[in-house]
Homo-oligomer: A and B are copies of this chain.
Amino acid sequence: MLSGAMLITTAVAVYYNEKSFWSYLISALITVSVGYFLVYKGRHEFSLIKRHLFLLTACCWLAICLFSTLPFVLVLPDLTYVDAVFETVSAITTTGATVLTGLDTMPRGLLFWRAILQWIGGVGIIVMAIAILPALKIGGMKLFKTENSDISEKILPRSSSLSMYIGVVYLILSVSCMLLYFLGGMSGFDAITHGMATVSTGGFANYDASFGHFNDRPHLLWISSVFMLLSALPLVLLVGTLRGHKWILFRDPQVRAFLAIVLFCALLLTWYQHEHNARPWMDALTHSVFNVVSVITTCGFASENYSAWGGLAVILFFYITFSGACSGSTSGGLKIFRTQLAGLLLIKQFKLLVHPNAVWVQKYGTKPVNDQLLGSVLAFCFVYFASIAALALGLSMFDLDFVTALTGAATAISNVGPGLGPVIGPDGNFSSLPDGAKWLISFGMILGRLEILTILLLFTPMYWRY
């Protein structure tokens, strides 16, 4: 486990050094020294028990967030500390909600720093999702414990080399995305930074208009949609595909449901925009697909202010803010498989209502689903929505209006990025919120990124008792 933390810290340090500004260098030196200290200390802690992983994971993320604020503080002296923290947390958690305005004229080093943070955050999440969370059995993650599954042995490499394969796939995705962006007409700098923001489903753009800056070249929107979709698929299955098992992706129930939902929402909105806003079919299709994909993969690019598309669009975007994409990817949110398992429970209850004494085995894909697993998934859903509700209540304390508080909480915990409504909607910005609200949202982003329970557990007396 510590090797994961090491890897991240090292990667961060390497990238720090790539910058030519002295401020990045100072940050890098501080980070490297602390990172070295951490690793050194880690050597003595090989006897880690599972329980400590929760604390360690949380601490690592917190530490990385804190150190990564340094460049923001050093480069933009006018930025308040809360804004720097907000922006960093937003990047690291791949949320992509920004408090900065005037991005178009921002120093390029800082824009690059934002992009690289997202990209590293993306790596961190995948490592966590594959290595740590299944071991912790959070919210049904056990289902993805790679050692347990029957198919994985045939299709996937051993666990030890799996993370390497996944790293390679992540890299291939990133590079090909950047390349296609570049060929599609972006400048080299834009191609690299937006490529990182796309593949990590971070969603920071270099422009105040977000991806809308490229609206005159619709093929860029389509390239982006494809790569957002790819990044939101389980990377483990992409590895399997690359190793020659072509249909493994489409045999996965989660992927099938995900693609079906995307298709349904995009087509519904296309129709709605054509009927309701009288847009030409092709134009409506491009922007519907792009923004639906962007929100559901929790990437959070926006090509337009979809808040203004009309009632149906707003509700639909609100829902897909929660849904999230596939587990084992960089996307946030509830994740599709949890909804599916909740649906399974419902079917079971219906069956029990009609045939009270029947007994049967429930399956998800090819894996049997027991009550324990269902319980853990539903507990997760419960705590997920409860967290959003609590966060929205907290935000409303700062006199935010109903829509801002509710969608702000949802977008933070799902790591999507933009909310809805005039304040924090796709054409809005988080900069006008009061400081307290920014702290709350930052906390919410970390909460959501670490699958909530990791953090909440640390606040229970039970955890500290023995």
Contacts and interface: CB of A to CB of B under 8 A. Distances in A.
Contacts of A356: 50, 137
A399 interface: yes
Interface in A378-396: 378-383, 385, 389, 392-393, 395-396
Contact of A406 (B50, B315, B379): B315
A402 B348 contact: no
A359 to B, nearest CB: 12
Given A342-B382, A371-B375, A315 B350 contact: no
A119 to B, nearest CB: 30
A379 B348 contact: yes
A164 interface: no
A353 B402 contact: no
A374 interface: yes
B311 A402 contact: yes
A315 B405 CA distance: 8
A242 interface: no
A316 interface: yes
A248 to B, nearest CB: 29
A319 interface: yes
Given A314-B402, A345-B382, A137 B375 contact: no
- The oligomer's copy count stands at 2
Contacts of A371: 371-372, 375
Contacts of A380: 349
B353 A137 contact: yes
Nearest to A379: B349
B374 A352 contact: no
A318 interface: yes
B462 A399 contact: no
A457 B354 contact: yes
A315 B392 contact: yes
A169 to B, nearest CB: 30
B420 A311 contact: no
A43 interface: no
A375 B370 CA distance: 11
B351 A315 contact: no
A319 B352 contact: no
Contacts of A399: 276, 310-312
Interface in A309-350: 310-312, 314-316, 318-319, 342-343, 345-346, 348-350
Interface in A146-196: none
A382 B319 contact: no
A271 to B, nearest CB: 11
Given A314-B396, A319-B393, A399-B311, A462 B137 contact: no
Interface-centre pick from A311, A392, A400 (highest chain B CB count, 10 A): A311
20 contacts: A54-B353, A136-B353, A137-B352, A311-B395, A311-B398, A311-B405, A312-B396, A315-B392, A315-B402, A315-B405, A315-B406, A346-B382, A348-B379, A349-B376, A349-B379, A349-B380, A351-B462, A352-B376, A353-B453, A354-B462
Given A137-B352, A311-B396, A312-B399, 5 more contacts: A54-B353, A312-B396, A314-B401, A371-B371, A402-B420
